[in-house]
Chains A and B, each alone.
Chain A
């Protein structure tokens, strides 16, 4: 199994460390040739969605990755990655992959002073540590979307077939690999 991580901007090294811990092979996508390679799963890390979205176009990665996701490539987006996959963004005109039937709100908790950490359930997992950094949340879900996690009444993790998203950052929690394991076991392996 080989997982690709978009390494355009943001916290991609943190995801790599988790995959190393799980013993999963990975490589970084920084340009077109990388995106054309064969891989079994894709991680869209956190960072600034405007920056990463811009770079996806500028570096000619956008259409290659979008068509792979549309044809069923397992993809896991955290924070900015969630925004990139959303069909609708309620407080922004920009759209990116638009492959997931969710409406998200960017910077939904406000500026950095609104960033917080908590624990919550994720699917059948209990007491999952969750770090929210200038995070979005999901306001509405559409067809085929399974809600995996709700914090304070807001949807913060969901799944739609091959697509998994979290508004929080499992990659920022030390020695915590459960969500990545879920992506691998429930989405990549069962594909």
Chain B
């Protein structure tokens, strides 16, 4: 991938900032998401809550289903490939997907290596629990990062933990002396130049969204106040009582995340939130996949 292509891919993530990316499983849901103000949709066969319930091996979605969603909406369409499954990624690139999510939500195809994302023209977003994971994914070619959170739970605790960890990691690097950066790169197991970038600029070199467990407008605003530049909402919308209304409310909450009055207004009467599973009570932590 040429440097200018990588820049263009980072630029697309910049255009998504301040927006909500919604998981959808059908063209109808995609249309609802677009009409509610989603800045992009993630096309997948089963939303994380159902993947969790079904168990077994979870893979890239059927291209036919992805194409159906691409034809249904005009906003960017993302889709997931399994961690390390570069052929699934090749297929998604052939479909001209706008962003590939190399995702821990699907079953990993490789327990050691991630996809070499520099080999692709289409952009990748990857999950991270901390700065070390985030910078490794960027070194591999990711042009956007999201917290892993714990998908399909409706429990925001892990997303909060991961966002705080990333932000703390950044603040720590900023506070170091220049001659301490080499050792930091060693400790984090990431390239020196990325540590240097974070030290000089006080942020990641790519856009950083929040994902995994966001279920309410307040959750979304919480993640924004903690430093997220936008939010992915998976099961939280289409597993709730009134998806349309909730989707709209979350979109507005991300724009006005700093205004409690607005947040109070739009949190009203949204119907039932997704039931949710306590992230401490589940057996498989998706976030532990792909470190």
| B8 and A55 within 8 A (CB) | no
List A residues 134-180 near B (Cβ within 8 Å).
134, 169, 172
Q: Among B31-39, B104-112, B184-192, which stretch is in contact with chain A?
A: B31-39
Mark each residue of chain B from 1 to 25: 1 if its CB lies under 8 Å from any CB of chain A, else 0.
0001001110110111111000000
Contact of B17 among A9, A116, A131 (CB under 8 A): A9
Contact of B34 among A10, A50, A117, A169 (CB under 8 A): A50
Q: How far is the CB of B262 from chain A (nearest CB, A)?
A: 7
Is B259 in contact with chain A by the CB < 8 A criterion? yes
Contacts of B18 in A (CB 8 A): 7-10, 12, 47
| B19 and A172 within 8 A (CB) | no
A31–B22 Cα distance when bound, in Å, is 24
Contacts of A30 in B (CB 8 A): 255-256, 259
Max chain A CB contacts within 10 Å: which of B15, B37, B70, B77? Answer: B15
Is B76 in contact with chain A by the CB < 8 A criterion? yes
| B76 and A112 within 8 A (CB) | yes
A-B contact count (CB 8 A): 113
Contact A47-B15, Cβ < 8 Å, known A55-B255, A113-B122, A134-B76: yes
Is A92 in contact with chain B by the CB < 8 A criterion? yes
Is A107 in contact with chain B by the CB < 8 A criterion? yes
Q: How far is the CB of B275 from chain A (nearest CB, A)?
A: 28
Is A86 in contact with chain B by the CB < 8 A criterion? no
Contacts of B117 in A (CB 8 A): none
Is B123 in contact with chain A by the CB < 8 A criterion? yes
Contacts of B19 in A (CB 8 A): 9-10, 47-48, 51
A39–B76 Cα distance when bound, in Å, is 33
Contact of B251 among A46, A54, A116 (CB under 8 A): A54
Contacts of A48 in B (CB 8 A): 15-16, 19, 39-40, 75-76
Contacts of A8 in B (CB 8 A): 18, 255
| A113 and B255 within 8 A (CB) | no
Shortest Cβ distance from A117 into B: residue = B4
Shortest Cβ distance from B4 into A: residue = A117
Is B52 in contact with chain A by the CB < 8 A criterion? no
Is A111 in contact with chain B by the CB < 8 A criterion? yes
Q: Which 5 A-B pairs have the closest CB atoms?
A: A54-B37, A112-B98, A48-B39, A9-B18, A9-B19
Additional 19 contacts, C-beta under 8 A, given A51-B37, A172-B11: A9-B37, A9-B39, A10-B18, A10-B19, A11-B14, A30-B255, A30-B259, A31-B259, A48-B19, A48-B76, A54-B35, A55-B252, A111-B96, A112-B9, A112-B99, A131-B7, A133-B8, A133-B12, A133-B15
Query: Which residues of A come within 8 Å of B, CB atoms?
Result: 7-14, 30-31, 46-48, 50-51, 54-55, 58-59, 79-80, 92, 106-107, 110-113, 115-117, 131, 133-134, 169, 172
18 chain-A/chain-B pairs, Cβ below 8 angstroms? A14-B14, A47-B16, A50-B34, A51-B38, A51-B75, A51-B251, A55-B255, A59-B255, A92-B74, A106-B74, A112-B12, A112-B96, A112-B122, A113-B121, A115-B11, A117-B7, A133-B12, A134-B98
